[in-house]
Structure 1
Amino acid sequence: MAKIGRSLLGVLVFVWSVVAFADVKVTAELDRQKVNQGETFNYIITVESTDSVSVGEPRLPSLTGVSLLDASKSSSSSTSFINGKFEYLQTLRYVYVLQAEQVGKHQIGTTEVVVDSKSYLTAAVNVEVVAGGAPAPPIAGGGGAPQSFDPFADDIFDQLLQRGNPPGGFKTQPVNPNEAFFIQVDVDKSKVYEGEQVTASWYLYTRGNVLTIDTLKYPSLNGFWKEDIEVATRLDFTNEMYDGVVYRKALLASYALFPIKSGQGMIDPYKARCQVITPSNFGLRRANYYTKSSKPVKVEILPLPKEGQPADFTGAVGQFEVTAKLDSEVAKVDQPVTLLVRFDGKGNAKLIDLPTIDFPSHFEVYDTQKESHFEKDGSSHKEFKVLLIPRQQGDYEIPSFSVSFFDPDRESYYTKTIPSLPIKVAPGDGTKAISDAPLAETGAGEKLPAIVEPPLSLAWSSGPLLTKTQRATLWSAVFSFILLFLGWQSRMELGWGRKRQDLEQLLRLRLKVVHQHLDKGDWRQVGVSVMNTMYMVLGEVSGEKGASEEIEKMFLKAPPSVRREVAEPLQKLMQSFEVLAFAPESVVGPLKDPKKLKDLVQAVDKVLFKAVRLGVGTEEMDSSAKSEKNV
């Protein structure tokens, strides 16, 4: 019995050690608080944990008065046995090399670090930049990370050559052929109208061999509606000669950008860390890690002219054609007929709205569906399917309608007109293919078949009685199993509950920022912040972290209760906030009205917290989601 007691005690100790949580500490510091203008200094983020944890890349705040030159990362772990206990410590150190640019006192705000899905914020730190003294050259990979030292540092005078650039565009060129690698940005236009396409592409140039590449930061492109042209999943190199030097060049990413507001836009840098083999001074070849960023590019954005703007202009900029047709010129009473309206051309067709059409009084607009797509060559299309229900026989016509666009090449508006479409409505057979109530009221939709569970069958079959020794052994095993199961269950429940509390806390912080923008009347930032928060919540409840998944895919991977109760209202809200975040101001319309905006924010508050409660609760496991998919 003493042996059994000691075994059970060991089981309980093991279970408690599994349930225990790691202590995490995140700090930020500077290696110097006072630097000369032009000098470099280190901003250091340290993450310490008493357990092995997953740490995301720190999210730095906006920097003023200083600029980021380089970054490096190092990690270490140690185990010690003190006072009869094992103690483990994991340390990660992120070192950011900053250069002092503007004289004065500057603050580096809080940095967010996500550790095991929990957000930690560092304290702000201050630095004073003083005039005087020759600026020290930038030191890449400082802070004790020799693997990031770059002997081929950028020329600090940044002599950008502009030869061979397209008119009005911007393209960085190689400056120092001894650089391990550099990232070139190529922008086809630097002066555009609001809503006009700007194509921005980033390329990696090197004279060495790139073994690995880690994209540390994609351009955030705030102030632009972004469409992917190509995002490389592997480096396909071609040779390019410049000033007699042969470089190896590979595309990293290419985007079609559409500015959403007039003023000065900024295409921010693309940042990557590469392991590159370069020749040494003795002719030997070695592999080192280097971190580089592209140059930021300013874009002047002109407002669309108010003079001569047609009443049927909805904000579309580009060269478009429009077509319309009925799927049948003969219909029957109470039987559906579809009007197809399609826009094709150069520009962002996703911003086009269906113009107002004065349908015959005996036609009911039952439903309108839309589908859009952007092609890699810069063309796009948007198609509207308008489902009409004729309620009375006779000869009718869908009246002519028009829609206007702005052509940035000609700097003028133009109008496309669709001629009227005749349709003959014959008597019906007395049945209605579709009821009078619209889809939203009938709740029409595909129903899943009911799940029929097999009957539970219990049977007892007598057998030979166990001996005392066998019974003792059996009960000891059962008791040990119960303890292990309870320990496992408590850890799972505590872990899930903690994750839900952490996510709710992070959601409150995000929504607090949204309400701050709301109080300031900054509707654009309200839209951007809400969209980011929606993706964050859906990423957590679906297990995809929201980085690159489409909304529909994240809903499919979310628990069934989230899909049933949250998907529809959240998608409707997302459409409104997507317009607020990315559409030109002329398209936003009444959505930016303070009262309307406040109502939308209150609605999204409720829906997101409901998504967290349903998606990170203990009622539904992943297995239930899988079961539903198999139904």
Structure 2
Amino acid sequence: MKISIVVLILSICSIAFADKPSVVISSDATSIFQNESFQFTVSFNNFDGEISMSETKGLEKFNVIGGPYQSSSNRWESINGETKSVTSIVLTYSLRPKFGGSIKLGPFKAKSGDKEYSSNTITIRVYKQGDSIPADKQKNQAYIRTVVSNKNPYPGETIRVDYFLYITPDMDIRAPKLVDSPKMKGFIKKDIKLSDNRELVQKIYGGIKYRTLHVLSYYLTPTASGKYNVESLVLDVPFKEKKRRRRRSFDPFMDDDIFSGFRSYKEKRLSSDPVTVNVKSFPSEGKPSGFNGLSGNFSIKSSFDKDSVKVNEAITIKFKVRGKGNFNDLQSLGINFPNDFEIYDPVRKESLSGDNRGWVEFEYVVIPRFPGDYEISPEKIFFFNPKSKKYQTAETQKISLKVYGKANNSMVIPNNITRKEIKVLGKDIRYIKKGKGIEKNNISIQNYLLLSLGIIFLPFFSYLFALKSGKIDKNSLKRAKAYKSFMKIYRKSKQEIESNNIKEFYSLTELAVFTYFADKLNKSTSGIIPDEIYFMLSESSVSDDVIASLKDILDRCSLNKFITSSIDEAKSDFRNLPLLLEKIEEVL
């Protein structure tokens, strides 16, 4: 009889409660840090028809970094002889708050048929890094903190970024897994090698005791002025959690903590807050005319292997720049060698640490072709010192050389001709065949000289006459020279793409662009800086889109000294750069 009553009661309860649909929201945390994510679920229980969510109040105050992931279950119910299918659906989100404070979630509303159902509400307390957290909330807290050594650097001034994982002492973790490394647009990034034996270290931050782990570090060198974001670092961190087992015995010994529970690890996704770095422009006051964007603190010294040589004997001259700064912007020097010297292309050597501390050396081989006493003027480099916030100059000593012996008059080579160019010139030499010609006795030496001079200078005077009369356009000549210089270098870059040598392609591309604008501005290639190019184009009413596209290509040229672009990106730049210059030519 008692059993019949129990069954009757259970049947009545099932009839009373089985049919009631509901919407329930819940979360696995009620207090978190702003850069911490948490799991949020929306449960639709006991619906026998289609369900549509009509309102998600409070969800807009969070970033959805995962989900919604859906799971469902079905069962059949028979009530008063009627059988129907009942469905329960669970949506799971991974959320991260957009700001701090108390944030209310809910009510969420869902429609099924002609009825609307409303959920409960929950409140999430969000703390910012460094906030004073109540004692009862100082457990199970974890976040990633970003430390930037200098948030207001100048272009070329290297800064350091460190990422630390902070956890409260009551938490245990395993090694974090990198999900997404931070993006560093506007910077040249170098990894900093950290010790493989890093351990958790005790620290107090915001009045709370933490254990911290040094996760990642980078050196960043900004390439231009402006505001840039050091983006978020995302980690999956396995946290140890305790789960209770069902009690199996009344034995007090078996109820000991060792047997009453076991520990497992559950991954939690954490991300750091992005940090804005404001890269300041170089001041205009006191800027020397020879400044090309070099930033840091430098010294320069010259050396040579001998100060007295014979004619046609080689001399090795070295210029070594030491210091800390953006050595990448120091690709060449403008040494003023005597005109009677044959100059070979310099060899550039460097020894630099990750924070751009070290030296760069330029080694020249020169061959004097005539005897005499020569001087090489002091070489100056201009740079901006971020610490003193002033422009400074480093200068070498004057070099004095004595050349003795007899000149070989049959070999006069112009200044700044490279070894390759000498070979090309050699191919163009033509020998004059002896024939009847003009007999020596039939013409005087004076007339012979006058005739020779007339032949030599006739093209020159014809050119001057045409230029003065307006038959030759100076700007057209300038454009033709600039574009010809550009294409001479740029054609070589195609071979590098075909050889899959991306870094050398971008190196030649940068040289080609700088050579083009150097001809436009009547400057040496070493005296050209990107900001000067963009300013000239802007003043000449070149469209912002063209300037932005050119800037993107030059930025990649700079970045590819360290980070290699894809072959598809290189091919795209190879196609687009001449088209950009054509658009620039139309305006200039």
**TM-score (structure 1 length as normaliser):** 0.47
Asked which structure has the greater CA Rg, the reply is: 2
